[in-house]
């Protein structure tokens, strides 16, 4: 979501005549988009800004420095007091005003600016994309923000504070954005929201047994020329049969799900205010795999939540072994400002959290490698996204199940659907070989 917000701000600036700098060293304006989910992310952003501020004082007096996003929202003016060289603080409902504020600062009409106010309708303002242009290579994939905010109030999470109440865009507005993206060459769209399956539930409700989110998926599915649809992230609560059925009925909907579980212990899930139990999670995973056997499933897990005993942790390990996730993001619990969990009793010692983190990560990686191994020798369809990040001589694509595949390809393959035969598997990456001469294939072989 932060990547998407940053892109929208960059696109607004480009539209106003600014151009993207090759690196921060040559930039006239440097904006750091921030995450507040864990304290470490905030400390990193502050450390980075301190370095930039020191540079500004010594060699670059004219450079404009700004914070955007969640930490900007939650700390606001306090950041300007803490960092006197900072020019701009833009909250999560004000991304669309960034260009205007920068112009004002550059024209020296204002001193520092801080805007973290709420704004009605701000959910529909993150719509500009940087696709292909002077400074940007053609993109085959795009993210589309369908809603903002969250009303779930998990006891560990700062997001309801930083992103505000749940607000959804309309279906026609989202579809129009998708259509425009496809007209500009995009073939895969990922719909984004804090809890996507809650999309429009108050605004648009259920019709003919279908939630607003499933109706949105169907409407996006109609967009001609679009090949693939993904979404992230759903929540097990309110994950209905209509959404499971969508995987059967909508061929463009890819067989992959990022499905945060957070813990394998019912006691901890309750303390987290997740509103589902392990049994329900297992049942959803079974239904997803029944709907599509090649389903890639990833998750988020927090270790060291207050009160987590060795037994609770063992249950998480057990869940991971039973579900066999394709991958999992394992987070060390980090107490956040104004969240119920931060003041709960039985906070867990850092050392214990570190140990559990290492143990769980070891288990997750072992299973991920075993699952990847099963791809060896199989032929899979990938959408080629561009150069491999590690080795720009190679190209990178993703399978429908969301596995990254690296192969010897050329720039002309960018944006193509290709069949690749998997010849080697690492823990996180697959290595492929073009399988057939026919590069354009819309059938799925794996």
Contacting ligand 5AD within 211-250 (CB under 6 A): none
- Name the residue among 71, 48, 60, 59 with its Cα closest to residue 2: 71
Q: Which of 37, 41, 219, 404 binds ligand 5AD (CB under 6 A)?
A: 37
Q: Out of 180, 300, 318, 385, point to the residue binding ligand 5AD (CB under 6 A).
A: 300
x-or-dash pattern for ligand 5AD, window 100-119, by CB under 6 A?
Answer: --------------------
Least separation, in Å, of the C-beta of 437 and ligand 5AD? 42
Nearer to ligand 5AD, 66 or 234 (CB): 234
298 is an interface residue for ligand 5AD by CB under 6 A = no
Beta bridge partners of residue 66, listed in sequence order: 31, 88
Q: Which is nearer to ligand 5AD, 258 or 413 (CB)?
A: 258
Helix (H) or strand (E) holding 74: helix 70-75
Cβ-in-10-Å burial (0-12, 13-18, 19+) of 351 comes to exposed
Q: Which of 433, 377, 368, 436 is nearest to 402 (CA)?
A: 368
Cis ω for the linkage preceding 395 (within 30 of 0): no
Among 73, 74, 262, 316, binds ligand 5AD (CB under 6 A): 262
Residue 192 engages ligand 5AD in binding (rule: CB under 6 A): no
Q: Which neighbouring-strand residues pair with 406?
A: 396, 431
Q: Helix, strand, or coil here: 4?
A: helix
Binding-residue pattern over the window 333 to 372 for ligand 5AD, x denoting contact by CB under 6 A: xx-x------------------------------------
What are φ and ψ of residue 329, in 5° steps? -90, 120
Tell me the DSSP string of 196-226. Answer: GGGTTTTTT--BTTB-HHHHHHHHHHTSTT-
- Which residue lies nearer to ligand 5AD by CB, 12 or 232? 232
Question: Which of 6, 441 has the CB closer to ligand 5AD?
Answer: 6
CB atoms near residue 429 (< 10 Å): 16
Beta carbons of 34 and 67 less than 8 angstroms apart: yes
Q: Which is nearer to ligand 5AD, 292 or 334 (CB)?
A: 334
Residues touching ligand 5AD, count (CB under 6 A): 12
Nearer to ligand 5AD, 106 or 352 (CB): 352
Alpha carbon 13 to its chain's center: 22
CB of 411 to ligand 5AD, least distance (A): 34
The CA distance from 345 to 342, in Å, is 9
CB of 158 to ligand 5AD, least distance (A): 7
Which residue stretch of 48-56, 88-96, 311-319, 332-340 sits at the interface with ligand 5AD (rule: CB under 6 A)?
332-340
From CA 71, how far away is CA 89, in angstroms rounded? 9
- Binding marks (x or -) toward ligand 5AD, 301..330, rule CB under 6 A? -x----------------------------
Binding mask 14-33 for ligand 5AD (x = CB under 6 A): --------------------
Instruction: Decide if 70 contacts 163 (C-beta within 8 A).
Output: yes
List the one residue out of 239, 188, 179 whose CA is nearest residue 213.
Answer: 239
CB 90 within 8 A of CB 115: yes
281 part of the interface to ligand 5AD, by CB under 6 A: no
Compute, in degrees rounded to 10, the torsion defined by CA atoms 49, 51, 52, 53. Answer: 80
Q: In what order do the strands lie in the sheet with 188-192?
A: 141-145, 188-192, 228-232
Residue 399 CB, nearest distance to ligand 5AD (Å)? 23
Residues 411, 349: Cα–Cα separation, whole Å:
50
Binding flag, residue 276, ligand 5AD (CB under 6 A): no
Residues 139-158 that bind ligand 5AD (CB under 6 A): 156-157
Residue 127 CB, shortest distance to ligand 5AD, in Å, is 23
By CB under 6 A, tell whether 331 contacts ligand 5AD. yes
Which residue from 12, 38, 227, 395 is in contact with ligand 5AD, where contact means CB under 6 A?
A: 38
Residues that bind ligand 5AD (CB under 6 A): 37-38, 156-157, 260, 262, 300, 302, 331, 333-334, 336
């Amino acid at each position: 979501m932060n990547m998407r917000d940053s892109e929208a701000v960059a696109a607004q600036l480009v539209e106003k005549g600014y151009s993207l700098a090759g690196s921060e060293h040559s930039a006239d304006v440097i904006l750091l988009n921030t995450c507040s989910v864990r304290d470490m992310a905030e400390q990193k952003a502050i450390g980075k800004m301190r370095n930039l501020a020191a540079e500004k004082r010594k060699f670059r007096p004219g450079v404009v420095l700004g914070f955007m996003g969640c930490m900007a929202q939650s700390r606001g003016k306090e950041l300007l007091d803490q960092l006197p060289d900072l020019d701009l603080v833009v909250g999560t409902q004000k991304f669309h005003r960034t260009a205007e504020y920068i112009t004002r600062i550059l024209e020296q009409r204002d001193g520092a600016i801080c805007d973290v106010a709420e704004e009605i309708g701000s959910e529909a303002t993150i719509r500009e994309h940087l696709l292909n242009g002077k400074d940007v290579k053609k993109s085959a994939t795009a993210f589309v923000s369908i809603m903002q905010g969250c009303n779930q109030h998990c006891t560990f999470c700062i997001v309801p504070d930083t992103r505000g109440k749940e607000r959804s865009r309309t279906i026609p507005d989202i579809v129009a954005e998708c259509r425009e993206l496809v007209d500009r060459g995009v073939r895969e769209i990922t719909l984004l929201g804090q809890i996507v399956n809650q999309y429009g539930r108050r605004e648009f409700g259920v019709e003919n047994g279908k939630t607003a989110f499933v109706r949105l998926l169907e409407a996006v599915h109609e967009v001609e020329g679009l090949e693939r649809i993904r979404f992230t992230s759903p929540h097990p609560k309110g994950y209905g049969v209509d959404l499971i059925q969508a995987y059967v009925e909508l061929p463009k909907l890819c067989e992959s799900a990022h499905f945060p579980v957070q813990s394998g212990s019912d006691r901890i899930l309750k303390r987290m205010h997740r509103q589902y139990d392990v049994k329900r999670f297992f049942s959803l995973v079974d239904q997803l795999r029944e709907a599509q056997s090649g389903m890639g499933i990833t998750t988020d897990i927090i270790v060291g939540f207050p009160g987590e005993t060795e037994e609770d942790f063992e249950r998480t390990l057990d869940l991971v072994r039973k579900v066999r996730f394709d991958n999992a993001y394992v987070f060390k619990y980090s107490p956040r400002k104004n969240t119920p969990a931060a003041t709960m009793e039985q906070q867990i010692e850092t050392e214990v959290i570190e140990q559990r983190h290492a143990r769980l990560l070891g288990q997750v990686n072992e299973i991920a490698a075993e699952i990847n191994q099963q791809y060896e020798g199989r032929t899979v369809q990938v959408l080629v996204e561009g150069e491999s990040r590690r080795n720009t001589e190679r190209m990178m694509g993703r399978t429908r199940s969301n596995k990254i595949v690296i192969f010897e390809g050329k720039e002309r393959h960018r944006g193509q659907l290709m069949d690749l035969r998997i010849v080697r598997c690492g823990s996180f990456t697959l290595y492929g070989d073009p399988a057939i001469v026919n590069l354009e294939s819309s059938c799925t072989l794996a």
